[in-house]
Amino acid sequence: MNRMALLTPLVLLVLASCGPAETPGATPSAGPLARVDLTDGLGRELVFDTAPARVVIAGRAAQLILHSAFLFEEADTRVVAMEQRTQRGVSMLPLVDSEYDGKMQLERDAAAEAIAAAHPDVVLLKSYLAKSLGAPLEALGLATVYLDLETPEQFFRDIRILGALFGNPGRAEEVLAFYQERLDRVSEVCMGIPAAERPRVLLLQYTDQGGEVALNAPPADWLQTIMVERACGEPVWLDASGGGWTVVDFEQIAAWNADKIFVIYYSGDPVPVVESLRADPGWAALRAVRSDDLYAFPGDYVSWDQPDPRWILGLEWLASRLMPAGLFVFHAETEVQAFYQELYGLNQATVAAEVLPRLNGDLAP
């Protein structure tokens, strides 16, 4: 897998002549094993005499960090152990990691001692694990770097941190240029839509674990809410949001009576879930259902609403559903091909054979 092959000779010449750009939170290294200075997600200033050669990614949400790490081809050889937490039973990592079969697979919720057995130079964790997992790791003398990836701003910062760790800050800027171009396109169209014309939106996560069905709204400061706002929608649930997913009953959903409703389902294809809601007499009376504006939030290996690299696909898709018809068009196959080719170095045939069949949700133009 050669992501550099995606660059034209002219771009390569410019990169070679200009050198890597300096980025906030990370000091560019001179080569793949050069000293690394960075500031992690907890604001800690860290120094590595050489770029870490043995990287372990563990803990809750390890999958989301892994998907970001493999935006860098150096992850193939430097990530030596991982905690797999597939959302829908299948991992995309064998597609993008040429060394996948040789990597140590940690058990779910692996303890510090199990992680230490991989002899890491650094362990990457989500910031909220600093006390529960990070502290025991650091007590064993292991270096940790904390990432968040929870908002667009944190995502940009953390991709630059990964670029520093992998000795490839130039690649970090390539990745972020991909995101910035799409963010700018959404923002430019949204700016032309008066606030009074923006739809009132309800976004819900559907859960059915243990046979108990619940609908949950995200906190005001989580990525899901930010995505709705950036896609030109007005979230209706902010007054009811808490510190995590908040269960809401149908009485509250009916009281909000949003113009458009989006349903997330992490366990599989959300389309059957939405069909079951649409068939419910109570739901059938809602404004969004009557106007055919009840949508299944799309995804592939994971849902596109999360702090995972695919959030940019979710944002573009949301914009196509929230903005007036024709103002912002999202062609799923085209955008997914561009995403996997430019960010993960997969060829068109591989994306067509392995990724496109996994697309789900309301993706029709």
| Amino acid type, 82 | M
Q: Do domains 3-179 and 197-358 have the same CATH topology?
A: yes
**Residue 363 clears pLDDT 70, i.e. is over it:** yes
87 pLDDT band, cuts 50/70/90, is confident
- Total count of residues recorded for the chain: 365
Please say if the pLDDT value at position 3 is more than 80. Answer: no
Does CATH number 3.30.70.2200 belong to domain 197-358?
no
Mapping DSSP to helix (H, G, I), strand (E, B) and coil, where does residue 282 land? helix
pLDDT tier at 33 (50, 70, 90 boundaries)? low
> Contact, 134 vs 144, CB < 8 A?
yes
pLDDT tens track for 91-119: 999 999 999 999 999 999 999 999 999 99
pLDDT at residue number 255? 97
pLDDT per position as a tens digit, 22-32:
333 343 333 45
What average pLDDT score do residues 189-217 get? 95
Long-range CB contacts for residues 153-156, cutoff 8 Å, separation at least 24: 154/41, 154/307, 155/68, 155/179, 155/307, 155/311
H-assigned helices in the chain: 9-18, 62-69, 75-78, 93-96, 112-116, 135-139, 152-165, 169-191, 223-230, 250-256, 271-279, 281-284, 287-290, 311-322, 332-344, 348-350
Instruction: Please tell me the distance from the alpha carbon of residue 25 to that of residue 37, in angstroms, as a whole number.
Output: 8
Domain parsing of the chain, residue ranges? 3-179, 197-358
In the prediction, which pLDDT does 10 show? Answer: 32
3-state SS of the chain: helix, strand, coil percent to 5? 45, 15, 40
Pair 67, 57: CB distance under 8 Å: no
What is the pLDDT, as a whole number, of residue 30?
Answer: 39
- Judged against a pLDDT cut of 60, whether residue 9 lies above it is answered with no
pLDDT at 28: 38
CATH fold, domain 3-179, is Rossmann fold (3.40.50)
For residue 126, give the nearest of 140, 149, 147, 96 by alpha carbon. Answer: 147
The pLDDT of residue 242 is: 80
- pLDDT classification of 86: cutoffs 50, 70, 90: confident
pLDDT at residue 4, as a whole number: 36
What is the rounded distance in angstroms from the CA atom of residue 103 to the CA atom of residue 68?
A: 17
pLDDT digits (tens, 9 = 90+) for 226-278: 999 999 999 999 998 788 999 999 999 999 999 999 999 999 999 999 999 99
Question: What mean pLDDT is predicted for residues 193-197?
Answer: 95
Q: Which residue has the tokens 């046979």?
A: 211
Q: Is the pLDDT of residue 209 over 90?
A: no
Phi then psi for 32, rounded to 5 degrees? -65, -20
Alpha-carbon span 364 to 362, nearest angstrom: 6
Specify the pLDDT at position 14.
Answer: 30
Is the per-residue pLDDT at 282 higher than 90? yes
**In this structure, are residues 80 and 54 in contact, taking their beta carbons and an 8 Å threshold?**
yes
Q: DSSP characters for 205-235?
A: EEE-GGG--EEEE--TTSHHHHHHHHTT-EE
Lowest mean per-residue pLDDT among 203-207, 242-246, 330-334: 242-246
Q: What distances in angstroms separate CA 116 from CA 41, 58, 75, one per listed residue?
A: 22, 11, 19
pLDDT (mean) for 176-190: 98
Rounded Cα distance between 144 and 136, Å, is 11
Q: Would you place residue 2 in the very low, low, confident or very high pLDDT band (cuts 50, 70, 90)?
A: very low
